[in-house]
Amino acid sequence: MAIHPIEYRYNTEEMRKVWEADNKLQKMLEVEAALADAEAQLNIIPKEAADEIKSKASTKYVKSERVSEIEMQTHHDIASIVKALAEVCEGDAGEYVHFGATSNDIIDTSQSLLFKETISIIREKVVELTKTLLKLADDNKKTVCIGRTHGQHALPTTYGMKFAIWADELHRQIERLDECNKRICVGMLTGAVGTTAALGTDGLAVHNKVSEILGLRPVLISSQIVQRDVHAEFIMCLANIASTLEKMALEIRNLQRTEIDEIGESFDPKKQVGSSTMPHKRNPITGERICGISRVIRAYVAPALQNNPLWHERDLTNSSCERIILPESSMLTDYILKLSIKLFSNLVFHPENIEHNLNMTNGLIMAERFMAELTRKGAGKQTAYALVRNCSLEAYDKDVGLKEIVSSNSEIKKYLTEDDIEKIMDPHTYLGSSIQIVENVLKDSNEWF
C-alpha cells in the first residue's frame, strides 16, 4: 500500500517512469554495456564478450527481483547488479563485466542519463507554460487593471504586463535548464579516486569512449564522484522554477479573493465541491497546491548544497540523501508545472470587477499623472508634487473624488484647463509604453520558440 503521496497523488506518469526502479536499473545496465563496448573497441576485452554483455544488459534479462535478492546478501547495490548481469551472460563474458570501473562510475553516469530525460520533460512543460502566458499577454495587452504595490492601489497597468513578466521570467528558467544540462549531464569512468589507475594507460580513452557511446560529455576531472556542485545547481534550478510558479499562483490566488475577484481558477459547478460545509465556496485549490509543493522543492536546496563537501575523495553521506531529493524534486517540479499549465490555460476573467477595482479610489491613482502634467506645464516637479499630494490628502479625508478637489484648486488651474483635467483622469490612457513592452516580449519570444 502506498505511503508517500508522491506515489499516488503528486506525480506525472512520464516523470514517474524516469525515476522508477526499473528505469534506474536499465540506465545502469546501459552504462555497463557502454563500458564493455568501449573496452572492446580499444582491444581491452574480447569483442565477443562485449557483444554478449551488451545483449544481456537489459531488464529483460537482469531482473530487479534478482538484484534485490543478491543485495540482501552483499549489502551493495552495484555489486549486486554486476553479479546479476554476469549471471545471465553466456560463456565467460560475465568475467569481463564492470572491468576497470568503480561503483560510482556506474551510479553517476547513469544518473546523468536520468537527468537528461528529466530536463527534457521539464523543459518541454516550461515551454508549453511560457507559450500559454505569451498568448494571455497578447490577448490582454490592452486589458487595463489596477497595479498594486505594498498591497495598495498604485497606478494603472494591464493584465498583458502581468503575463508578459512571467513569460519573460520563464525564458530565463529555460536558459538555466539548458546551462544546467551542459554541466550535469556528464559521463564518468575514472575509477576509485578519479585517476583511472585500474585501466592503466587506456583509462582516459575508455572514459571518453564511454561518454561518447552514451551521448554524454566526459567530465574533465573527478574524484570518485562527479562533484556535487552540479547536482546542487540542478536542485537550485528546479527550486528557482518552483519559486516562479509559486509567484504566479500566489498572484492568481490573491486576485481571486472575494474582495478583489478579478480573475481566478475555473470551477465546475456540476462536479466540483469547494467545501464540505460551506456550499458557496470556490477555493483556489490548484494555486494553493502549487504554492505548497513549491516549499518542499525549495527545501531540498539545503541538503543538495550540503552534499558537496564530502570527506577526502568521497564518502557516502550524499548517497542516501540523493536517493530522496533527486527523484522527489524532479517529480514534484514536473507535477506543479502540469498544474500551472492547467491553471493558466483555464483562467476565468471578471471584466466588471477589473473595471470596478480600477476606479475604486475615486481617481487617487491618477495623482502621479497630475504631478507629471503640472511639471510639463512649468510648475516644477517639487511644487507639482506638493500641490497634488495636498489635493490627494484632502480627497482622501473628505472621501470625495480627486477630480473634484483638483478642479477647485486655484494653483492647479493656473496650469491645467478643465479639458486637461478630464483627460488626465482617464486611467485607460495612462499606460506609458506598456503595450510596446508586451509586444517586445512577444517579439523576443520568437527567438525561443
* Tens-place pLDDT, residues 5-52: 998 899 999 999 999 999 999 999 999 999 999 999 999 999 999 999
Catalytic residue among 266, 275, 345, 408: 275
Task: Quote the percentage of the chain above a pLDDT of 70.
Answer: 99
Instruction: Say whether 150 is catalytic.
Output: yes
Task: Determine which one of 75, 150, 280, 312 is catalytic.
Answer: 150
pLDDT at 267 over 80: no
**Considering the domain 103-265+278-357 in this protein, what is its CATH number?**
1.20.200.10
Q: What pLDDT, on the 0 to 100 scale, is given for residue 277? A: 66
Which residues fall within 8 angstroms of residue 273, CB to CB, at 6 or more apart? Answer: none
Cβ atoms within 10 Å of 436's Cβ, excluding its own: 11
Distance between CA 207 and CA 191 in Å, rounded?
9
pLDDT at 419: 95
Mean pLDDT across the stretch 266-288? 78
For the segment(s) 364-424, the CATH number from 1.10.287.130, 3.40.430.10, 3.30.60.50, 1.10.40.30 is: 1.10.40.30
Q: What is residue 153's three-state secondary structure? A: strand
Neighbouring residues of 170: CB distance < 8 A, sequence distance ≥ 6: 126, 129, 130, 133, 244
| Mean pLDDT lowest among 198-212, 273-287, 316-330 | 273-287
pLDDT at 382 over 70: yes
In the chain, where are the structural domains located? Answer: 12-96, 103-265+278-357, 364-424
Beta strands in 188-255 (DSSP E): 217-218
Cβ atoms of 84 and 55 closer than 8 Å: no
Per-residue pLDDT band for 447 (boundaries 50, 70, 90) equals confident
- Cα(365)–Cα(169) distance, rounded to whole angstroms? 28
Average pLDDT over all residues of the chain: 95
What pLDDT, on a 0 to 100 scale, did the predictor assign at position 270? 74
- Maximal C-alpha separation, the chain: 104
Distance CA 59, CA 66 (A): 11
Q: Is 73 left (phi over 0), alpha (psi -120 to 50) or beta?
A: alpha
For residue 120, is pLDDT > 70?
A: yes
Q: Which of 296, 321, 99 is nearest to 202 (CA)?
A: 99
- The SS3 call for residue 449 is coil
Among candidate residues 362, 307, 318, 327, the one with its CA nearest the CA of residue 238: 327
* CATH T-level fold of 12-96: Fumarase C; Chain B, domain 1 (1.10.275)
| Eight-class DSSP state of 219 | P
pLDDT digits (tens, 9 = 90+) for 195-234: 999 999 999 999 999 999 999 999 999 999 999 999 999 9
User: How much is the pLDDT for 276?
Assistant: 65
Tell me the per-residue pLDDT of 129-168, one tens digit each, with 9 for 90 and over. 999 999 999 999 999 999 999 999 999 999 999 999 999 9
- The confidence score (pLDDT) of residue 351 equals 97
Q: Work out the pLDDT band at 275, boundaries 50, 70, 90.
A: low
* 284 has a pLDDT exceeding 90: no
User: How buried is 412 (Cβ within 10 angstroms: 0-12 exposed, 13-18 middle, 19+ buried)?
Assistant: buried
Task: Please report, as a single letter, which amino acid is at residue 330.
Answer: S
Q: What's the pLDDT score for residue 273? A: 75
